[in-house]
Amino acid sequence: MTRSALQTLPGESPTILGLQDVRVHYPMGKDWLGRPKAPAHALNGIDLQVRAGETLGVVGESGCGKSTLAQLLMGLIKPTSGRLDWVYNSDKERSSNVQIVFQDPQSSLDPRLPVWKIITEPLFVQRSAPHHEMRGIAAKVAAQVGIRTEYLDRFPHQFSGGQRQRIAIARALSSNPDIIVLDEPTSALDISVQAQILNLLAELQRSRDLTYILISHNVSVVRHMADRVAVMYLGQIVELGTATEVLERPRHPYTQLLLEAVPRLGVSVDEGQVSAPTELPGNRTLPTGCYFRDRCPKATQGCEKPQALLPAKDGGASVRCHLES
């Protein structure tokens, strides 16, 4: 697939994946009387179109559902309700469509496997290449991420953190996916190495027409990489727009607080928790009306009604807030 072949509208790629009112509720077992306990409402009505070739940044505090969304896209969990439609699907197996790069290559790479086996793990799992071809495929992909062929028989502990993340990226690439979920891809790396890995990811995206879902607490990483940004709160998207719209002119009161909580250069959304008057509510019983209204400095009576994610009147970012849409 080439990006130009997919282009339908100038400047806007077609949808590769659509989510419609997707909910994921984790059952929490039974209480001592045998009654089912309230589930954890991890995702509460996600509407999202992922466009071919874009980088979609996903930000939000810990517990807002980012990893659940990643697992859903990976096909590891099913929606409790709602729809997930692959609009564009290549000839490949559906399961090969999405791969993931985790935060910490130290724990995400099997220490007992040589590099070439790590890189070809997805092909092995999918049985999508004959065994005698695996090593050759590993060599090719390794070269693309800057790992030398003579290192293919080494083990993860013989590499630096940055090299290990390159190996993790090679593993994500080997099955030729359409989408790669990047879950905090540089957070565990030294500052000096972060830029190299981000540049590598950007280069691979261009050369291989990849679509990225970039989950990150690091606003400067998202600003650097993302075309669009989705801001999540309690399992919902509260703001969705271009990276410039969302990060430079945030409209939703939650996005504004989130970005204020991030020291301009310090950048960790999670650690610099949002300074709202009340704690992040639990997700076992969902709030009525706007989920954010108890913490929102701008809350009015209109916030008692459920809020939809609507495009702003001026055509800017979509916001789930009646004060701004």
Interacting residues toward ligand ADP by CB under 6 A = 26, 40, 42, 60, 62-68, 283
Contact partner, 106, from ligand ADP, Mg ion, none, Cβ < 5-8 Å per class: none
* Beta carbon nearer to Mg ion, 17 or 42: 42
Residue 320 CB, nearest approach to ligand ADP (Å): 17
* Beta carbon nearer to ligand ADP, 138 or 226: 226
Residue 185 CB, nearest approach to ligand ADP (Å): 14
DSSP for 31-45, please give it.
Answer: -TTSPBPPPEEEEEE
The β-bridge partners of 319 are 239, 310
Residue 105 CB, nearest approach to ligand ADP (Å): 18
φ, ψ at 318 (rounded to 5°): -85, 140
Residue 144 CB, nearest approach to ligand ADP (Å): 29
d(CA 122, CA 60): 29
Contact partner, 53, from Mg ion, ligand ADP, none, Cβ < 5-8 Å per class: none
Residue 6 CB, nearest approach to ligand ADP (Å): 30
CA distances from 293 to 21, 123, 297, 298, 303 (A): 21, 47, 8, 8, 6
R_g over Cα of the chain: 21
Q: Which residue has the tokens 């801001």?
A: 231
Contact partner, 65, from Mg ion, ligand ADP, none, Cβ < 5-8 Å per class: ligand ADP
Contact partner, 145, from ligand ADP, Mg ion, none, Cβ < 5-8 Å per class: none
Structure tokens given for 293: 């209204």
d(CA 14, CA 263): 36
Structure tokens given for 301: 């009576």
**Residue 230 belongs to what H/E stretch?**
strand 228-233
* Beta carbon nearer to ligand ADP, 66 or 295: 66
Residue 65 CB, nearest approach to ligand ADP (Å): 4
* Beta carbon nearer to ligand ADP, 114 or 287: 287
Residue 68 CB, nearest approach to ligand ADP (Å): 3
Judged by DSSP in three states, 233 sits in strand
* Beta carbon nearer to ligand ADP, 209 or 294: 294
Contact partner, 164, from Mg ion, ligand ADP, none, Cβ < 5-8 Å per class: none
Q: How is the beta sheet containing 55-59 ordered, strand by strand?
A: 98-101, 179-183, 211-215, 55-59, 228-233, 236-242, 318-319, 310-311
Residue 111 CB, nearest approach to ligand ADP (Å): 25
Among 20, 49, 67, 144, binds Mg ion (CB under 5 A): 67
Query: Are 169 and 101 contacting, i.e. CB atoms less than 8 angstroms apart?
Result: yes
Q: Which residue has the tokens 């998202």?
A: 222
CA distances from 198 to 43, 265, 295 (A): 28, 17, 34
Contact partner, 42, from Mg ion, ligand ADP, none, Cβ < 5-8 Å per class: ligand ADP
* Beta carbon nearer to Mg ion, 138 or 262: 262
Contact partner, 26, from ligand ADP, Mg ion, none, Cβ < 5-8 Å per class: ligand ADP
User: Total number of residues binding Mg ion (CB under 5 A)?
Assistant: 2
φ, ψ at 84 (rounded to 5°): -130, 110
Q: Which residue has the tokens 């190299």?
A: 196
In the complex, the residues that contact Mg ion under the rule CB under 5 A are 66-67
